Copies of this chain bind each other. A is one copy, B any other.
Amino acid sequence: MSEQPIVRRRVVKKGISDARTNDSRTQSQYDPYKDAAWGFINHWYPALFTNELEEDQVEGIQICGVPIVLRRAEGKVYALKDQCLHRGVRLSEKPMCFNKDSITCWYHGFTFDLKDGDLTTIVGNPDDKLIGTTGITTYPVHEVNGMIFVFVREDDFSLEDVPPLSDDLPFRFPENSEKFPHPLWPKSPSVLDDNAMILGMHRTGYGDWRIACENGFDNAHILVHKDNTIVHAMEWVLPLGIVPVSDDAITVVEDEKGPKGLMQWLFTDRWKPTLENKELGVKVDGMNSRHYRTSVVLPGVLMVENWPENHVVQYEWYVPITDDTHEYWEVLVKIVKTDEEKRLYQQRYDLVYKPLCLHGFNDCDLYAREAMQNFYSDGTGWDDEQLVSTDVSPITWRKLASRWNRGIAKPGRGVAGSLKDTSLIFKNTADGHRPGYKVRKIEE
C-alpha cells in the first residue's frame, strides 16, 4: 500500500501459548509423522473382507497411493500393482483373466503372472521382446478369519524383509497378559485367534488418515459421544474426560520384534476420570462406567478392549488411500465356538452393534475428523494446534510412529488423487460420484 493512514499499536493478544504441551522441542520429535500424509508404507493393511472377493472375482483398491488389484484363484488371494506397465490403466476396471495363473489387461492384452507379476505374454503380440523382461510389483497377502490383509510395499522393498502380519497388529493375549494385565475383563481376542469371529464394515473417510487415527485413542473426545443412543440405551454414564495423573499413564512398546505401539492404562490410578467442572457447573452423577482400554500400534491400528460389551474387542484401521482420504475399518471380534454362539453374535451385531456402535457412536467420530480437515489439510494445524495434557496420547503416538514406521509413502504418481482437480473428476462429481476406495468397474 502506498500510504497507510492508521498507526497500529501491535499488541499481540492471542496466539500460540507457551503453556501448550507440544512446544517446538516436542514437535521436532515427530517431524517424520508430519510428512506422512500419504501414509506409512511397507506395512500390513486390511484390503477387503473375505466375502468381498469370491473365487475369480477381481477388485481394485488403493492404499498409500498404491493402486492394488486383488484376485482370488483356486481359493488363494493374489495382490498386484493395479496399473498396467504398458499404458497405465487399472486392470481391475474391467477384469480379464484367461486362466488361474494370470491376469490380463483388458486394453492391450498384457498378461501378468499372479505369483510374481512377470509379464508372461501379450494376447495379440505373443513374441514381443518385452515379454519376460519386466513385470509389476506383487504384494504379500495374508487372509485370516474373514479378512484379507495386504503388505503394501515400495517397489524396491525386498520380499525377504516382509515381517509377519502379527508385527502390524495390536498386542495379543495371553502373551501380553502379564505385561498388560486387565483385571476387569477376560483376555482380549485377536483377529488371529482360533475361533475368532470378525464382524464389521469399512467405508471411505474424507480426511487425513492421521487425524482419523488420533481421534481413535484420544481420551478427551468423549464429549462428542455424550448424547449417543448406545450410551443412554445401556445407561452408561461417561465421565466428562479422562486425565493422565502419572508419568506412566502410557506404556510405549518398541521391542525389537513384534508390534510397535502404545498402551494406555485407562481406568487405573494412572488416569483420573473428570466427574465435575465447577467453572461450568457441570457434574456427572453416579457412574455406570463402561470400562475399556485403548491401545494403538503401527501402522495405525486401534484396539478397544472390552468394547462395546464384555468379551468383545473393537479394532479400527484408518487405511490411507490418498493424502486426504482413508478407508475407515471397524471390526468387532469375539471368540465363538458353537454355531449357536455364532448365530447369537451375528444377531447382536446386526441389531445392536452395527446400528448403534459402528454407526451411531462412531459416526460422531467421522464428522469430528472431517471437522478438523480444513485446519490440517493445508498444514496450518500441525503448527498452530495448542495441545494439552490429555493429548499425551497422540503426542506419544506421533513420536513412536516417527521412529518405527518402515517408510513414509511418497505422494501418489499417476494414480487417483495424485491430481485432485482434473476435469474427469469434475465430470464424475457432477454425476454424483464421490472419490472412493474401490475401483468403479467400467459399465458397457
Interface SS of chain A: helix, strand, loop or mixed? loop
Residues facing B in A2-49 (CB within 8 A) are 2-3, 5-6, 8-21, 29, 31-32, 42
Q: Chain B's nearest CB lies how many Å from the CB of A222?
A: 7
Q: Are B2 and A384 in contact (CB under 8 A)?
A: no
20 A–B contact pairs at CB < 8 A? A1-B402, A5-B403, A9-B160, A9-B161, A12-B155, A12-B156, A15-B155, A87-B381, A89-B371, A104-B280, A106-B224, A107-B221, A108-B223, A124-B239, A130-B386, A206-B427, A374-B418, A377-B422, A425-B426, A427-B434
A99 interfacial by beta-carbon distance below 8 Å: yes
- Residues on B with C-beta less than 8 A from A256 are 5
Interface residue? A243 (CB, 8 A): yes
Q: 11 more A-B contacts (CB under 8 A) besides A123-B240, A431-B432?
A: A1-B32, A2-B31, A5-B403, A20-B134, A99-B281, A120-B279, A124-B239, A125-B389, A363-B444, A381-B414, A421-B421
Q: Does the CB pair B364–A274 fall under 8 Å?
A: no
Nearest 7 pairs of A and B residues by beta carbon: A124-B241, A88-B375, A380-B414, A17-B134, A124-B240, A89-B371, A421-B421
Contacts of A325 in B (CB 8 A): 423
Q: Which residues of B are found within 8 Å of A83, using beta-carbon distances?
A: 375
Stretch of A261-269, A304-312, A348-356, A405-413 lying at the B interface: A405-413
Q: How far is the CA of A430 from the CA of B408 in the complex (A)?
A: 31
In the complex, which of the residues B125, B134, B136, B416 contacts A374, with contact meaning CB atoms closer than 8 Å? B416
Residues of B within 8 A of A386 (CB): 85-86, 130, 134
Please tell me the number of chain A residues within 8 Å of chain B, measured between CB atoms. Answer: 143
CB A21 to nearest CB in B, in angstroms, measures 8
Nearest Cβ distance between residue A25 and chain B, in whole angstroms?
13
Flag whether A129 is at the interface (Cβ < 8 A).
yes
**Measured CA separation A157–B381 after assembly (Å):** 22
Chain B contacts for A122, CB-based, 8 A:
220, 241, 388
B123 near A223 (CB under 8 angstroms)? yes
Binary B-proximity of A134-158 (CB < 8 A = 1, otherwise 0): 1111000000000000000001111
Which A residues from 186 to 202 make CB contacts under 8 A with B? none
Q: Are A435 and B444 in contact (CB under 8 A)?
A: no
Cα–Cα, bound, A278→B111 (Å):
13
Among B14, B31, B222, B324, the residue within 8 A (CB) of A134 is B14
Identity of the chain B residue whose Cβ is nearest the Cβ of A385 in the assembled complex: B87
A129 contacts across to B, CB distance below 8 A: 19, 388-389
A233 CB-CB contact with B under 8 Å: no
A242 within 8 A of partner (CB) = yes
State which residues 178-233 of A face B: CB under 8 Å.
Answer: 206-207, 218, 220-224, 227
Task: Determine if B375 and A424 form an interchain contact, defined as CB atoms under 8 angstroms apart.
Answer: no
A124-B239, A390-B125 known; A424+B324 contact, CB < 8 A: yes
Q: Is the CB of A402 within 8 A of B241?
A: no
Contacts of A106 in B (CB 8 A): 223-224
Contact of A8 among B11, B85, B158, B431 (CB under 8 A): B158
Most buried by B among A5, A14, A135, A418: A14
Interface residues of A in 48-66 (CB under 8 A from B): none
Complex Cα distance A16/B86, Å? 10
Determine if A372 and B108 form an interchain contact, defined as CB atoms under 8 angstroms apart: no
Residues B433 and A430 in contact, CB atoms below 8 Å apart: yes
With a cutoff of 8 Å between Cβ atoms, the chain B residues found around residue A123 in the complex are: 223, 240-241, 274, 277, 280, 282
